């Protein structure tokens, strides 16, 4: 029980507004100073729209798995982010998770989209939960568990979300390896033949 309480506390603290708003470049240097080489890459993409050609900003970062939880903690202390979604790429030996945050919302044209990519090895696909910092991450974390077979350590609710209960275990539809392809094919291969027989 006392463990749970300590976990909840930091999440409550973070709902405070920050004193100073950083520019996209400052955000990148802030994290690079903190984590040095553990930030594998950082890119700022600006694009303009409309006739007045006002720009919006996307930051793409790739970070090491070892600092992931620490990174989220720093981000939450900087400003409380909105987690839009966590997407996943099957890269072969690695699975990349892309957390799309948006920060500094609430002011015209000030918002920055921050996309953080983390790679986890397919042989041991594990990552820590961020639900203690951002409780709204639960739905997307549960989805990653069932669709990509990522084990989320410390997830408050590990049930399936979208997949039905009779869907085979250890088959993860968004993985791209040969074995998954075969397993998925089994599920729909004879669907039409079965319908014809009837």
Residue placing its CB nearer to another protein in the complex, 71 or 115: 115
Residue 89: CB minimum distance to another protein, A: 5
Could you tell me the smallest distance in angstroms from the CB atom of residue 191 to another protein?
A: 13
Distance CA 183, CA 171 (A): 7
Q: Minimum Å distance from CB 33 to another protein?
A: 26
Name the minimum Å distance from CB 55 to another protein.
9
Q: Please, which residue, 58 or 77, has the CB nearer to another protein?
A: 58
Phi, psi of 14 (to 5 degrees): -70, -15
In terms of CB distance, is 8 or 34 closer to another protein? 8
Q: Which H/E stretch holds residue 83?
A: strand 82-90
Residues that bind another protein (CB under 8 A): 11, 15, 45, 47, 49-52, 54, 56-58, 60, 80, 82-85, 87-89, 98, 100, 102, 105-113, 115, 134-140, 160-164, 173-174
65 close to 127: Cβ distance less than 8 angstroms: yes
* Residue closer to another protein (CB basis): 35 or 58: 58
Residues 6+ apart with CB under 8 A from 151: 125, 126, 127, 145
The sign of the CA dihedral 29, 31, 34, 37 is negative
DSSP one-letter code for 114: E
């Amino acid at each position: 029980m006392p463990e749970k309480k300590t976990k909840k506390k930091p999440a409550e603290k973070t709902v405070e507004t920050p004193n100073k708003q950083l520019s996209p470049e400052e955000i990148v240097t802030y994290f690079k100073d903190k984590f040095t080489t553990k930030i594998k890459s950082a890119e700022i993409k600006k694009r303009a729209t409309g006739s007045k050609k006002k720009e919006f900003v996307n930051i793409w970062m790739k970070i090491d798995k070892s600092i992931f939880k620490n990174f989220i903690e720093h981000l939450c202390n900087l400003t409380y982010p909105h987690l839009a979604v966590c997407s996943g790429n099957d890269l072969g030996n690695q699975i990349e998770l892309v957390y799309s945050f948006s920060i500094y919302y609430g002011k015209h044209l000030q918002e920055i989209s921050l996309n953080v990519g983390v790679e986890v090895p397919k042989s041991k696909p594990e990552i820590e939960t961020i639900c203690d910092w951002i409780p709204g991450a639960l739905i997307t974390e549960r989805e990653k568990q069932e669709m990509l077979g990522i084990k989320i350590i410390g997830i408050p609710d590990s049930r399936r979300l979208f997949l039905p209960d009779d869907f085979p275990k250890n088959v993860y539809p968004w993985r791209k390896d040969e074995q998954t392809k075969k397993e998925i094919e089994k599920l729909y291969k004879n669907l039409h033949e079965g319908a014809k027989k009837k």
